[in-house]
């Protein structure tokens, strides 16, 4: 029996959220592209085939399309600048470099990057000045070194220079390259939407404090495992290990909620470290944690639960030079003892409260049998 993919367990709310948030961006980007195309036609008629306004227009278009790469607030300044450079490169390579030569690309990069660099608060003013000045000098040097040679090669007849025919073909493909640039941006945009969907799905499945899976994910995974058992009765059972931190309210009252949160994070860390890589470790709610063990019967689950209990009891929390002892009471239930995942949880919960009634800091099975573990069993579990 295998655990299902967590992303596939997320309902359609995440996809709908992505659609609602990016629909405006798609429409806005389409309007910007249409406006820039109109401005391009007017500028070509009014200003002629001048190089400077081509650079400015491409830089403006790249900056306007920046939301396609995701919300700016979600990125550090340097990453937002890098994505802006990527957008500028995509457009500039398709148009400027083929029309005016390699130096035109750096003109557009400089125009696009300078506002982001100047407004960024991560660099001191002198560093910003050096970077902008160095970029200007590099652009001027490339302009002087390559523009004349590019014009000479472009103007040469095919019989005069073997590569001139290739250059003319490249220039004739300018319109095709411009048509491909939006397609590249759209593909990149939807790739990022997909990544955004996975990121939000991951956030929807995690507890923000402990970074463990949350109750919603465990319920979906457990129901999927029950469905697998119904369709494949020959498959192995799964078990649920439900644990509760003993006297957690006393820890909060004595040390404060901040220390209580540290205690929960410590328990989460120890449980994750002790669990197997195939186990699902989750925060069930409050000071309760849950392990979902696929292909595990009650006996194996009892051994693992006892290892978890010992690991927590042997690693107290250090607070202001004092040790805060942490113990847990654990209930274990196996899927074959119930017909649904909710019933398995109820059996594990009943075993947990039976352990509390017996004095806490112990492991109790839903069958009513307390765990009896030898050191050799713990070593081999």
* Catalytic residue numbers, as ranges: 287
Q: What sign does the CA torsion over 103, 107, 110, 112 have?
A: negative
CA-CA-CA-CA dihedral for 362, 365, 370, 371, to nearest 10: -80
95 closest CA partner among 137, 139, 36: 36
373 closest CA partner among 309, 322, 303: 303
List of residues 6+ apart from 364 with CB closer than 8 A: 329, 330, 331, 332, 351, 352, 354, 355, 358, 370, 371
Q: What is the DSSP letter of 193?
A: H
- C-alpha distances (whole Å) from 36 to each of 39, 58, 334 are 5, 9, 64
> 290: which strand partners?
242, 282
Q: What sign does the CA torsion over 69, 71, 76, 81 have?
A: positive
> 242: which strand partners?
290, 331
**CB-hemisphere CA count at 13 Å for 59?**
20
**CB-hemisphere CA count at 13 Å for 116?**
24
Sheet holding 328-334, edge to edge: 280-285, 288-293, 239-245, 328-334, 363-365
| Residue 328: Cβ within 10 Å count | 27
């Amino acid at each position: 029996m295998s655990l299902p993919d967590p992303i596939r367990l997320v309902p359609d709310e995440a996809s709908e959220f992505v659609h609602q948030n990016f629909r405006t961006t798609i429409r806005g980007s389409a309007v910007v592209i249409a406006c820039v195309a109109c401005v391009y036609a007017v500028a070509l008629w009014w200003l002629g085939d001048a190089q400077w306004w081509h650079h400015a227009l491409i830089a403006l278009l790249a900056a306007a399309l920046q939301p396609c790469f995701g919300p700016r607030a979600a990125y550090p300044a340097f990453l937002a600048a890098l994505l802006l450079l990527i957008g500028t490169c995509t457009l500039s390579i398709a148009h400027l470099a083929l029309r005016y030569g390699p130096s035109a690309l750096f003109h557009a990069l400089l125009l696009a990057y300078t506002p982001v660099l100047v407004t960024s608060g991560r660099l001191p003013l002198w560093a910003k000045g050096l970077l902008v000045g160095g970029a200007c000098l590099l652009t001027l040097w490339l302009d002087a070194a390559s523009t004349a040679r590019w014009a000479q090669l472009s103007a040469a007849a095919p019989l005069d220079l073997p590569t001139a025919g290739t250059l003319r073909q490249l220039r004739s493909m300018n319109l095709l390259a411009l048509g491909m640039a939006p397609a590249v941006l759209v593909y990149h945009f939807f790739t990022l939407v997909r990544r955004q969907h996975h990121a939000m799905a991951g956030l929807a499945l995690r507890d923000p404090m402990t970074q463990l899976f949350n109750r919603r994910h465990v319920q979906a995974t457990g129901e999927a495992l029950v469905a697998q058992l119904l369709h494949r009765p020959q498959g192995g059972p799964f078990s649920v290990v439900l644990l509760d931190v003993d006297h957690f309210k006393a820890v909060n009252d004595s040390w404060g909620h901040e220390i209580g949160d540290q205690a929960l994070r410590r328990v989460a860390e120890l449980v994750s470290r002790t669990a197997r890589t195939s186990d699902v470790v989750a925060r069930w709610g409050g000071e309760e944690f849950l392990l979902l063990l696929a292909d595990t019967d009650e006996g194996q689950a009892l051994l693992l639960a006892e290892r978890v209990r010992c690991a927590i009891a042997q690693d107290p929390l250090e607070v202001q030079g004092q040790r805060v002892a942490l113990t847990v009471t654990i209930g274990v239930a196996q899927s074959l003892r119930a017909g649904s995942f909710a019933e398995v949880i109820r059996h594990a919960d009943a075993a947990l409260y039976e352990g509390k009634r017996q004095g806490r800091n112990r492991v109790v099975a839903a069958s009513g049998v307390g765990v009896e573990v030898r050191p050799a069993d713990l070593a081999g579990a």
